[in-house]
């Protein structure tokens, strides 16, 4: 019996054509449920996001939660969704969210289902605020338009980490047959177990982020103008409300991009990380309205890109590391001005991921607070932040280079809404001192030492070549010896998070968790350089991230850039060996 006529028709057509290859693609293997949940194209078959795979996933998740929480039926779960939709298969984020809600409600579990589209950070916020057992956000963030995803939060308000992914994955395998009435999502509308947290969260979230508002009077008076784009996603309304909460005049919204549109018609990729291409319309509006600063969210509004018009008339798009430096400086400065007890700094923490700039470490050393690095991804920062907060520590800020920022302890994940309005307040404050964001960034580097970063990747579709490349690094000068140098650059330390080796630890064992299934080696160089090589969990890429950290006082930026460029060239030539390994370069 066909439950979804559209996916049914796709499969029926392939059967009629006897198209074994395509059928193999649709039904050959199930989507893998990992710590980031699911992320795949919408369409027919178990390898895609569709009504059936959402029901199966939620049935598994429900059983796993029942096993872990005796009070699941008292506390419940929250479910949110973005504006994605796929005409040809009938899939949409809203439909998937309703099917997931139906699954839980059929088992007597209360569901807080948002009645309208929301930013991703509202789900972890609601888990924490209402003390729920878990949260689900149906979104594919900044992925291409045909994709969707299913992101899962645990009761601590952070994304799940191992072993939960394995446990949920196994439970999905064990609960594949749809339960009775699994498809009938209309049942939820009359159920007393269905709650809508939309109005409450829209009030409470904006109340909570105001704890991060320190210069209301400046905000009211500022004549700085901002442009905001939500890139056809969910962010528009919520950034407008955030500005209102901080007493800032509303930003000019890019009209062609402010309303949700699952086709993302004005951009090639709906990803503000891609830089200037996504911002073309924003630049035009800013020129027209005389705005100096552009704030751009990705479609699910958990990330933020910022651009500023320079004296020269050029636009500068800040990298994730640069904005991380500015926000880290700003949030600590605001904390210091509001905490006169100098001893309190001992309980202050900031976090960033291993592949992000170490600028926070330099600020922490000079100012006396704690800095910790975590593995890549906000799931690690969110979970670590919660541990520290439970020990009575203040976690002021966490960031990753992929333009993700956690500026507000009420959300233990990246949040592009609070980051946008806090950036606007910082810019307004700096304007009263006649400083631009770029000038302040230079001031931060002058005070704490220049941190220059450069990241890129190679594409490689052959897992054997990737394995060989990393094996070669582990047996560089004979068996079990890592490289002692890279071209003219002397290696002073090695951390291998695939094997758990760390040359800087007394017992040579790495402190951060290790994972045999992914490749990641970090090299420290005698000249203050650091370079990490890692495989991507979601794409056929070998990525590298490099940084040169200079001590305060060394302000010859051009010389530092040249040094980093040479280090990166040596890294590519000696460690990647692109010709020998037939690697394809990132094309700009």
Q: Which entry of 47, 141, 319, 546 is annotated as an active-site residue?
A: 141
Write out the two tokens for 568.
């990166």
What one-character-per-residue DSSP string does 312-355 give?
Answer: TS-EEEPPHHHHHHHHHHHHHHHHHHH---GGGGGGEEEEEETT
Closest to 519 measured CA to CA, from 574, 456, 478, 465: 465
Closest to 265 measured CA to CA, from 234, 296, 304, 231: 231
Q: What is the CA radius of gyration of the chain?
A: 24
Collapsing DSSP states into helix, strand and coil, what is residue 583?
coil
CA atoms of 359 and 47, how far apart (whole Å): 41
CA atoms of 234 and 300, how far apart (whole Å): 6
For residues 62 and 174, is the Cβ–Cβ distance under 8 A? no
CA atoms of 246 and 248, how far apart (whole Å): 5
**Other Cβ atoms closer than 10 A to 346:** 10
Residue 517 CB partners (closer than 8 Å, separation 6+): none
Residue 396 CB partners (closer than 8 Å, separation 6+): 331, 332, 335, 348, 349, 350, 369
DSSP label at residue 380: H
Write b or e for each residue in 441-464: b if 16 or more Cβ atoms lie within 10 A of its Cβ, otherwise e. Answer: beebbeebbbbbbbbebbebeeee
Cite the DSSP H helix spans in 433-582: 437-448, 463-474, 557-570
162: annotated active-site residue: no
CA atoms of 504 and 21, how far apart (whole Å): 50
Tokens 């990490």: give the residue. Answer: 532
Residue 301 CB partners (closer than 8 Å, separation 6+): 119, 120, 121, 230, 233, 234, 235, 238, 239, 416, 417
Active site residues: 141
């Amino acid at each position: 019996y066909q439950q979804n006529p559209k996916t049914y028709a796709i499969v029926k057509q392939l059967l009629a054509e006897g198209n074994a290859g395509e059928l193999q693609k649709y039904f050959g293997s199930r989507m893998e449920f990992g710590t980031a949940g699911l992320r795949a194209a919408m369409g027919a078959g178990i390898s895609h996001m569709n009504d059936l795979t959402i029901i199966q996933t939620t049935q598994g998740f429900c059983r796993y939660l029942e096993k872990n929480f005796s009070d699941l039926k008292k506390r419940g779960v929250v479910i949110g969704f973005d504006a994605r939709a796929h005409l040809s298969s009938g899939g949409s984020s809203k439909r998937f969210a309703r099917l997931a809600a139906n699954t839980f409600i059929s088992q007597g579990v209360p569901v807080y289902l948002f009645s309208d589209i929301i930013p991703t950070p509202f789900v972890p916020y609601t888990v924490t605020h209402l003390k729920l057992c878990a949260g689900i956000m149906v979104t594919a963030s900044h992925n291409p338009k045909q994709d969707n995803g299913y992101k899962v939060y645990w009761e601590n308000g952070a994304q799940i980490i191992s072993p939960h992914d394995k446990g949920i994955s196994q439970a999905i395998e064990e609960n594949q047959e749809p339960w009775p009435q699994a498809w009938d999502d209309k049942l939820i509308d009359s159920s007393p177990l269905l709650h809508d947290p939309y109005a409450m969260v829209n009030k409470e979230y904006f109340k909570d982020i105001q704890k991060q508002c320190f210069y209301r009077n400046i905000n009211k008076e500022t004549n700085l103008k901002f442009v905001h784009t939500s890139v056809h996603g969910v962010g528009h309304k919520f950034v407008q409300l955030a500005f209102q909460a901080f007493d800032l005049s509303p930003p000019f919204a890019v009209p062609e991009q402010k309303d949700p549109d699952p086709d993302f018609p004005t951009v090639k990729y709906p990803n503000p990380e891609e830089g200037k291409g996504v911002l073309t319309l924003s630049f035009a509006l800013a020129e027209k309205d005389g705005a100096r600063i552009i704030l751009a969210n990705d479609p699910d509004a958990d990330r933020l890109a910022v651009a500023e018009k320079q004296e020269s008339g050029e636009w500068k798009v800040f990298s994730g590391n640069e904005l991380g430096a500015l926000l880290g400086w700003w949030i600590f400065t605001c904390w210091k001005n509001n905490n006169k007890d100098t001893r309190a700094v001992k309980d202050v923490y900031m976090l960033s991921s291993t592949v992000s700039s170490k600028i926070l470490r330099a600020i922490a050393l000079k100012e006396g607070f704690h800095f910790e690095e975590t593995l890549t991804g906000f799931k690690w920062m969110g979970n670590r932040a919660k541990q520290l907060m439970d020990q009575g520590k203040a976690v002021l800020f966490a960031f990753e280079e992929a333009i993700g920022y956690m500026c507000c302890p009420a959300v233990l994940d990246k949040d592009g809404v609070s980051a946008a309005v806090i950036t606007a307040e910082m810019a307004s404050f700096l304007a009263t001192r006649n400083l631009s964001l770029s000038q302040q960034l230079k001031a931060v580097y002058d005070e704490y030492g220049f941190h220059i970063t450069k990241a890129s990747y190679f594409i490689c579709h052959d897992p054997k070549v990737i394995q060989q490349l990393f094996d070669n690094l582990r047996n560089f000068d004979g068996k079990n010896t890592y490289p002692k140098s890279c071209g003219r650059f002397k290696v002073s330390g090695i951390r291998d998070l695939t094997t758990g080796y760390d040359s800087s630890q007394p017992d040579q064992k790495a402190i951060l968790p290790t994972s045999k299934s992914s490749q990641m080696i970090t090299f420290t160089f005698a000249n203050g350089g650091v370079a990490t090589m890692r495989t991507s969990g979601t794409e056929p890429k070998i990525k590298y991230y490099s940084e040169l950290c200079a001590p305060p006082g060394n302000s010859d930026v051009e010389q530092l850039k040249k040094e980093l460029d040479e280090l990166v060239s040596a890294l590519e030539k000696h460690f990647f060996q692109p010709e020998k390994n037939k690697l394809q370069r990132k094309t700009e």
